[in-house]
Amino acid sequence: MDKFVVGGLVVAILIAIMAPYLASSDPDGLESAAEKIINPEVSDEAVLESPMPDYVIPSLGEDPISGVVAIIIGVLVVFGLAYGLGYVLKKKET
């Protein structure tokens, strides 16, 4: 793997380490709008229970470390999946 890929992954993991400490916990634009104007009959209950809801590992609690671990797992899974997808779908050499 070339230096660019390693460098890019290091940047992604550094962001993952900082995110739980630096990220704003305020509602995002959509949630903020929903708080003010949502039709009160609408509920937002999740259909499927996810293993790491809100970017934390449930067994590690709501700690920032738990967030760091969850986001690093996500970074690696996304990297692997995108790499695999790109590899399978790439242009066939002629």
Partner 1 sequence: MHIPDGFIPLWQAVIYYIIALIVGFYSIRWARTSLDERKVPLLAVLAAGIFAIQAMNIPIPWGTSGHMVGAALVAIIIGSPFAGFLVLTTVLIIQALFFGDGGVTALGINIFNMAIISSWVGFYGFKWLKPVINEVPAVFVAAWASLFLAAIACAIELSLAGTFPLTLGLYFMGLYHAVIGVVGEGLITTIAFLAIKGVRPDLIYREEVGSHG
Q: Interface with partner 1 by CB under 8 A: which residues?
A: 1-2, 4-5, 7-9, 11-13, 15-16, 18-20, 22-30, 32-34, 36-39, 42-55, 67, 70-71, 73-83, 85-87, 89-93
DSSP secondary structure, 50-81, as one string:
-SSGGGS-GGGTT-HHHHHHHHHHHHHHHHHH
Q: Which residues contact 13 (CB under 8 A, 6 or more apart)?
A: 72, 75
Q: In terms of CB distance, is 1 or 61 closer to partner 1?
A: 1
Q: How far is the CB of 48 from partner 1 (least distance, A)?
A: 5
